[in-house]
Amino acid sequence: MRKSLPCMLSVAGGSSAQSCVESWTHSVKYSLSRPLSQRSGGHSVAGAITLVGIMAVTSAGANDNTFIVTTLADETGSCTSESCSLRQAVGAANQVQQATEIIFDSELSGTLELEHGSINFSNGRTTITGPGSDRVTIDAGGQSRIFNVTFGQGVSRLTLSGLRLVNGDAGDGHGGAVRFSYLLELDDVVIENSTAEWGGAAASFSTYYGSSTLEMRDSVASNNSADFGGALHSSQVIIEDSLIEGNYAQGSRGGVSSSFAEIRNSTISGNHAEFERDVFSNDFFFLSEWEVGGGGVRANSAVLENSTISGNYSRLWGGGIGVVRSLTATNSTIVNNWANSYNGGGINQSNSIQSQYRIELNNTIVANNTAANEDRSDLWATFVTIDYSLIGIVEDDLEEALEDRGNLWGSAKEPLDPLLQPLADNGGLTPTHALGSNSPAFNAGDPEFDGPPFQDQRGLGFHRLGFGRIDIGAYEFQQDVLFHDRFNVSEEEP
């Protein structure tokens, strides 16, 4: 259990705050608590960030750029030495020209209900550090966004950690819970039940005016909705050790919407793109989207490593992943996705003319997906490079590209089933599809592989070479698995 700071850091800071932290850090040993009750096998970094942030603030000797949140009431006005709300802290930070940090007091726990609309930023670089996504929830009550970067204010970076954000509503705008400008960093953040036109959980308004990046680590976006991009929308999206689950797009791009998506050690599951015609502004927009699809992920290009794409749905094309140009997938599992009307239940590539745009699969399972065109249920692409992978159904035109490269595949008449278990908590931070020794993917990967990566999708303690040769997919079969504390592995760990 994370121990609380035995003395209070004042807003003004100074030597008393310095003394407080020095005394506390010399006397307290603490362990990090689990940030999300629905996951297992890992721990939040929020507690560590909070401690490091406080130490950095006090070591500078002054708190001009740092503000401590001491109450979960949504108070307006100015911070005092006795009380400072999150809204007050952001208001004070907006008056500072340098980068600012806002830290929640370690004793705070509960729900902050917004009573005065979204919390607005105009400072160029702001970091907000909560005590953990299992400790503090910010609830907009469906009345507004939660965090909002005002257009034209030049806020270049917003960093959030250790918080749960729920019930944001941007109406016809971008970012149901968070609207940002050029860079949004999320670490141990849960975003749920929020809605917008673009990016139900979070979106950049700069997507059409320049580049934007959303980096998400050790976080969850679930049960959000939008016309486009049910969960996330940004020029570039980087997702690590995270879960994108159960999001809904009335138009297209059910889970993740981006020009370039990079997904590692994560699961994209149960997202839905309905393609309702009346949400598209014109026929050109509709036609440009429908051949790409993207129930789980829609991108111009994407990289997928040690990750799972499962159970996503697109009413038209690309149930799991829809890309315009290229996809590189390594050590990943793409299964049980559905393209209701056309091609590419698992993977769909819309640009099939230019040979420089390819689908590259290495040590990856693409199987048990569904599409209206049965021959193209798992994969619809023209130019492919596939090595040591398992493809459930391959149409005749692609078979030659799979030969003599260590691949396993079936056909529409005789699909190859990887014999995976249902998506479940098998340890680690994200759900996975377990395979057993009876699976054709067992010990069927590249015989020359010796790492990196040295772990499967689940991370530390789940070794990539369980029986001397890598399995195909995101999950490595192993016996007598010990579940390890992600930040407290014993010295005996090999």
Q: Which residues contact 301 (CB under 8 A, 6 or more apart)?
A: 259, 260, 261, 323, 324, 325, 326, 327
**Can the peptide bond before residue 431 be classed as cis, meaning omega within 30 degrees of 0?**
no
Q: Where are the alpha helices (DSSP H) in 215-327?
A: 283-290
Tokens 């929640």, located at residue: 104
Cα gap 174→229, rounded to integer Å: 10
* H/E segment holding residue 158: strand 157-166
What are the boundaries of each domain within the chain?
A: 1-226, 241-494
Q: Where are the alpha helices (DSSP H) in 28-123?
A: 46-59, 86-93
CB-neighbour burial class of residue 412 (10 A; exposed 0-12, middle 13-18, buried 19+): middle
- Total H helices, total E strands in the chain: 5, 35
SS3 state of residue 402: helix
Q: Where are the alpha helices (DSSP H) in 310-465?
A: 396-402
Is the Cβ–Cβ distance between 191 and 221 less than 8 Å? yes
Return the number of other C-beta atoms located less than 10 Å from residue 109's C-beta: 15
Q: Which two tokens stand for residue 278?
A: 């009346």
Cα gap 354→39, rounded to integer Å: 42
Would the pTM of this model clear 0.85, i.e. be above it? no
Q: How many CA atoms are closer than 13 Å to the CA of 97, on its beta-carbon side?
A: 0
The rounded average pLDDT for each run of 10 residues, N- to C-terminus, in the chain (494 residues) is: 32 37 32 37 37 34 77 94 94 90 96 97 90 97 92 72 98 93 95 96 73 95 94 96 96 89 98 74 55 83 97 90 94 95 86 77 96 86 93 89 94 95 96 94 94 93 90 89 38 34
Residue type, 177: A
